[in-house]
C-alpha cells in the first residue's frame, strides 16, 4: 500500500505500545487504521463512536484515498474540531496524519492514546529509511540448523525416566507392603496390554459411527498422492497403510495403529480440496514419518506411565487407614508421591510428543525433498491462509469430506481449523508472507503461547515453520519464511495480570482460609470466605467479559492485536459467512467457522450447560451452514484465535449464548449467600 498523504513511500507495518500493528508511512509518519482498529486505542470507545456518528452530518470530501481500495475518503471533525480524520465510509478505515497523532494524545476526556513503538525493527527501519535484511538480498543468510537430538537416544532417555518414576512408586508400595509385587506387576502389564491392543479398534468404531469415515482403495486417491505414499513406504520397507477419508471440508490428517505394518492414515477431503497435490503429499509424508518412527506405539508406551501413576493414586486414596497408623502414613505419602509424579510425567510425555512432531516434519521435508511444501500446507491448515478465492474454495468443497484433527495439529488447535487470516490480494495465488508473519507474532511473542504449548501435544505452528525453513536452508533451498523481527516488548506484564485475574477466586479464598487459622479460627472469617469468593469471581467475570462496547471490526483487524488471551478479550461485532463446523465431521459439533472478506476464524458457541451445547449442535447447527450471520462476542486466543459468541443474528433470527449471564448470576448468588450467612446469628 502506498501512502495516501505523501504518495512517496510504501506503508510499513510497525508496532504500537498498545500491542497492535498499524500501517505506517516512514516518510510523512502518517498511520492507516483498518476497520475498528481505532477502538484498540481508546478507553472510551462508546464516546468515540458517538463522535464519529455525529461528525457524519458535517463531513467534507477529502483529497485522500483509501490506500487499499483507492476509494475516496471523507473528512470528519471530532471533539469540537480538535481532531480531523480521513474516514472511509465503505470499509471503516481511518487515516491519521503525523500532526493528528500528536493531537490524539492531547485530547482530554477522549480516552485516546496511540504510541508508536520506536524500538521495533519495523519502526526503526521505517524511521531511518533502512531496508530489512530480507529486503536487501534475494537469498537470506543461512540460519543455524534446528538441532534435534538423536531420535533413538531421546526416546530411550524419556522412556527410561518415565519408567524409573513408575518403578520407584511400585517399589515403595511393595516395600511398605501396601500391595504385593505380583499384584503390582499384573496391574502394570494388564493396563499396558489393554491400552495397546484395543485402542486402534476403538478408534476405528468411533470414526465409523460419529465421523462417517470411508476407507478407500489407493486407486481412488489422486495419482500423485497415491504414487508418493507407495514410493515412500516401499523405500522404508513398510506395508502400505490403510487410507480413510472423513467427509468434511476442513483440512487435517492423522495416523494410528499397532505397528508400521498395521497403520492407518486418515485425511479429510478438505486436505485434497484445499492443498495443492504436492502439499497433500507433504502432509502424507508427515504421517508416514510417524509410522516409520513407530510413534503410535512409542507414545502409547510412554503414556502408560502417567496412566498407571494416576491409577495408583486413585487406589491409594481409597485405602482405609485401619488401626495401623504407620501403614496409613506410608499409604498417604505414596499416594502424594504418585500424584506428583503423575503431573510431572504428563508434561514429560507432552514434551516427548512435541519432539516427535518435529521429527515427523523433518521426515516429510526429506521425503518430498522440499520442506517448504509441508510449511505451506501447515500455513493453509493452521493459519487459514488459503491463497484461494472464496468461490474457488466453495466449488472445490462441494463434494468434500473431512476429519476431526488428531494428528497434524493437536486436537485443541485442529478442531478450530486453525484460523487466522488470508490476504484478499493473494487469493488465487501465493500466500501473503507479511500476513503470515503477523499471524506468527502471537505464537512467538506472547507469553501465553508458550504457556499453552506446555499442555499441547504439538509445537506451536510458528516454531514448526521456522524449523522447516531451517531444514530448507540446510538442503540448499529457499526457506519458506524468514522471521527475524525483534520483539518490541516483553508482554510479561499483561501475562502476569491475566494470570492473577484468572486465579483471583482461588487466591482470595486461600487468603481467607489462611486468615481463619491465623486469627484463631474465628467463625466470621470462615463465613466471610463465601462472600469474598463470590466478589472475586464476579471481578474475574467482568474482566474476562468486557461488555462496555462491541466495536464493528473485521477478522484481519482482530488478528493484529497481540495483547489478547483467553482471559483478556476484545469485544467485537463481525459479519460473515458460516463455512463449516468447529469440529470437522462431528455430527453434534455446536461450534462454527466464520469467513469474512479479510479472513477465517473459529466461533465458540458456549452455553451454561454442556447438554445445551450438545443438542444445539445435533439438532440446529447444520441449518446455519453457508448462511450470512452477524456475530457479537469476545475475541480470544488460547492459542487458537476464536470468538466466543454472545449473540448471532441470521435471517431475522437471534441466537443468544448465556454463559456470561450464568456466571454473573452465580457470582451474585454466592455473594448474597455469603452475606446472609455472615449476618446470621
Residue among 636, 552, 641 nearest 39 (CA): 552
511 vs 19, 141, 330, 508, CA distance in Å? 33, 54, 30, 5
- C-alpha to C-alpha distance for 332 and 343, rounded to whole angstroms: 17
SS3 168: helix
Cα–Cα distance measured from residue 457 to residue 453, given in angstroms and rounded to the nearest whole number: 8
The answer to whether the CB of 421 falls within 8 A of the CB of 439 is: yes
Report which of 122, 39, 111, 37 is spatially closest to residue 79, judged by C-alpha positions.
111
Q: Which of 100, 287, 453, 485 is catalytic?
A: 287
Q: What are the distances in angstroms from CA 631 to CA 46, 589, 628, 645, 659?
A: 18, 18, 10, 7, 16
Give CA angle at 499 (493, 502), nearest 5°. Answer: 140
Give the distance, in angstroms, between the CA of residue 672 and the centroid of all CA atoms in the same chain.
37
Q: Give the sign of the dihedral formed by CA 114, CA 557, CA 40, CA 38.
A: positive
What is the C-alpha to C-alpha distance for residues 562 and 317, in angstroms, rounded to an integer? 44
Backbone angle region of 500, left / alpha / beta, with phi > 0 → left and psi within -120 to 50 → alpha: alpha
DSSP collapsed to 3 states, 482-517: CCCCCCCCCCHHHHHHHHHHHCHHHHHHHHHHHHHH
SS (H, E, C) 591-603: CEEEEECCEEEEE
Q: Is 287 a catalytic residue?
A: yes
Residues assigned a catalytic role:
287
Amino acid at each position: 500500500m502506498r501512502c495516501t498523504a505523501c504518495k512517496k513511500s510504501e506503508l510499513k507495518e510497525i508496532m504500537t505500545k498498545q500491542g497492535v500493528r498499524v500501517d505506517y508511512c516512514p516518510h510523512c509518519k502518517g498511520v492507516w487504521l483498518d476497520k475498528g482498529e481505532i477502538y484498540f486505542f481508546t478507553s472510551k470507545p462508546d464516546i468515540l463512536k458517538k463522535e464519529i456518528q455525529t461528525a457524519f452530518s458535517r463531513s467534507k470530501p477529502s483529497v485522500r484515498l483509501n490506500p487499499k481500495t483507492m476509494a475516496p475518503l471523507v473528512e470528519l471533525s471530532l471533539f469540537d474540531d480538535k481532531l480531523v480524520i480521513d474516514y472511509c465510509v465503505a470499509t471503516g478505515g481511518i487515516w491519521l496524519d503525523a500532526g493528528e497523532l500528536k493531537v490524539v494524545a492531547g485530547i482530554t476526556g477522549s480516552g485516546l492514546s496511540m504510541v508508536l513503538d520506536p524500538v521495533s525493527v519495523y519502526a526503526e527501519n521505517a524511521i531511518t529509511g533502512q531496508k530489512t535484511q530480507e529486503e536487501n538480498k534475494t537469498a537470506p543468510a543461512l540460519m543455524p540448523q534446528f538441532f534435534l537430538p538423536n531420535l533413538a537416544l531421546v526416546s530411550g532417555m524419556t522412556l527410561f525416566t518415565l519408567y524409573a518414576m513408575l518403578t520407584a512408586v511400585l517399589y515403595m508400595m511393595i516395600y511398605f507392603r501396601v500391595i504385593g509385587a505380583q499384584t503390582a506387576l499384573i496391574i502394570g502389564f494388564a493396563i499396558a496390554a489393554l491400552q495397546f491392543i484395543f485402542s486402534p479398534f476403538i478408534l476405528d468404531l468411533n470414526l465409523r459411527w460419529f465421523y462417517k469415515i470411508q476407507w478407500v482403495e489407493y486407486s481412488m486417491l489422486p495419482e500423485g498422492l497415491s504414487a508418493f505414499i507407495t514410493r515412500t513406504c516401499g523405500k522404508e520397507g513398510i506395508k502400505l497403510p490403510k487410507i480413510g477419508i472423513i467427509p468434511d471440508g476442513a483440512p487435517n490428517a492423522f495416523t494410528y495403529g499397532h505397528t508400521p505394518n498395521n497403520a492407518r492414515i486418515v485425511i479429510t477431503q478438505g486436505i485434497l480440496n484445499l492443498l495443492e497435490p504436492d502439499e497433500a503429499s507433504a502432509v502424507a509424508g508427515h504421517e508416514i514419518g510417524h509410522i516409520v518412527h513407530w510413534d503410535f506405539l512409542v507414545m502409547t508406551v510412554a503414556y502408560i506411565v502417567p496412566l498407571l501413576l494416576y491409577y495408583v493414586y486413585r487406589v491409594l486414596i481409597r485405602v482405609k487407614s485401619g488401626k495401623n497408623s504407620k501403614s496409613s502414613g506410608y499409604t498417604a505419602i505414596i499416594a502424594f508421591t504418585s500424584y506428583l509424579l503423575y503431573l510431572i510425567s504428563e508434561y514429560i510425555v507432552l514434551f516427548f510428543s512435541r519432539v516427535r512432531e518435529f521429527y515427523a516434519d523433518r521426515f516429510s521435508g526429506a521425503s518430498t525433498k522440499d520442506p517448504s511444501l509441508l510449511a505451506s500446507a501447515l500455513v493453509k491448515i493452521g493459519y487459514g491462509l488459503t491463497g484461494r478465492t472464496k468461490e474457488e474454495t466453495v466449488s472445490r468443497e462441494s463434494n468434500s469430506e473431512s476429519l476431526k484433527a488428531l494428528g497434524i495439529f493437536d486436537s485443541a488447535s485442529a478442531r478450530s481449523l486453525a484460523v487466522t487470516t488470508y490476504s484478499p490480494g493473494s487469493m488465487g495465488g501465493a500466500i501473503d508472507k507479511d500476513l503470515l508473519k503477523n499471524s506468527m507474532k502471537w505464537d512467538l511473542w506472547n507469553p501465553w503461547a508458550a504457556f499453552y504449548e506446555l499442555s499441547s501435544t504439538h509445537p506451536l505452528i510458528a516454531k514448526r515453520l521456522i524449523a522447516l525453513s531451517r531444514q530448507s536452508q540446510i538442503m540448499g533451498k529457499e526457506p519458506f519464511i524468514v522471521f527475524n523481527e525483534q520483539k518490541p516488548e516483553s508482554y510479561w506484564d499483561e501475562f502476569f495480570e491475566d494470570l492473577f485475574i484468572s486465579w483471583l477466586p482461588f487466591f482470595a479464598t486461600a487468603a481467607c482460609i489462611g486468615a481463619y487459622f491465623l486469627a484463631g479460627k474465628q467463625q466470621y472469617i470462615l463465613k466471610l470466605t463465601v462472600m469474598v469468593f463470590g466478589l472475586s469471581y464476579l471481578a474475574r467475570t467482568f474482566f474476562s467479559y468486557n461488555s462496555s462496547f462491541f466495536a464493528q471490526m473485521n477478522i484481519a483487524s482482530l488478528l493484529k492485536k497481540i495483547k489478547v488471551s483467553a482471559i483478556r478479550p476484545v469485544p467485537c461485532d463481525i459479519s460473515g459467512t458460516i463455512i463449516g463446523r468447529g469440529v470437522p465431521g462431528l455430527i453434534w459439533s455446536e461450534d462454527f467457522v466464520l469467513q469474512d472478506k479479510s479472513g477465517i476464524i473459529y466461533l465458540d458457541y458456549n452455553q451454561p450447560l454442556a447438554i445445551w451445547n450438545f443438542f444445539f449442535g445435533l439438532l440446529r447447527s447444520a441449518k446455519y451452514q453457508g448462511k450470512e450471520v452477524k456475530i457479537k462476542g469476545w475475541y480470544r486466543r488460547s492459542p487458537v484465535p476464536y470468538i466466543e459468541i454472545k449473540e448471532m443474528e441470521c435471517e431475522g433470527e437471534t441466537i443468544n449464548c448465556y454463559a456470561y449471564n450464568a456466571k454473573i448470576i452465580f457470582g451474585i448468588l454466592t455473594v448474597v449467600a455469603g452475606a446472609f450467612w455472615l449476618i446470621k446469628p
